[in-house]
Amino acid sequence: MRLDKFLKVSRIIKRRTVAKEVADKGRIQVNGLAAKSSTDVKIGDELSIAFGNKTLVVKIDRIIETTKKDEAKNMYTIISETYKADTPDGADS
């Protein structure tokens, strides 16, 4: 299944056009490699998605063409969810 379609069906990203934009900007990695929206994903693949100040890492458990909202979260397992600290520009830590 295409990466952008998986993200939409699993509801990690609500719209396929948004998933395509995010992927084509290089903000998604599949198994550690930069991925485009057309990249094929399969069960066992690990996705790392950068949303602004949040990075979400998930493992694909199931691939289904269509799913209901409450079943969508069974398509993947969240491995980690990290947030970047908000620091003002020029501030030394």
Cα R_g (the chain), whole angstroms: 14
- Domains in the chain: boundaries: 3-83
pLDDT in tens, 41-65: 999 999 999 988 999 999 999 999 9
Output the six-digit token pair for 19.
Answer: 């998933």
CATH 3.10.290.10, domain 3-83, yes or no: yes
Q: CA 68, CA 35: separation in Å to the nearest integer?
A: 26
Q: Which residues contact 52 (CB under 8 A, 6 or more apart)?
A: none
Give per-10-residue mean pLDDT for the chain (93 aa): 95 94 93 94 96 93 91 94 71 48
Output the six-digit token pair for 77.
Answer: 């397992």
DSSP β-bridge partners for residue 51 = 54
pLDDT, mean over the chain: 90
Percent of the chain with pLDDT over 90: 77
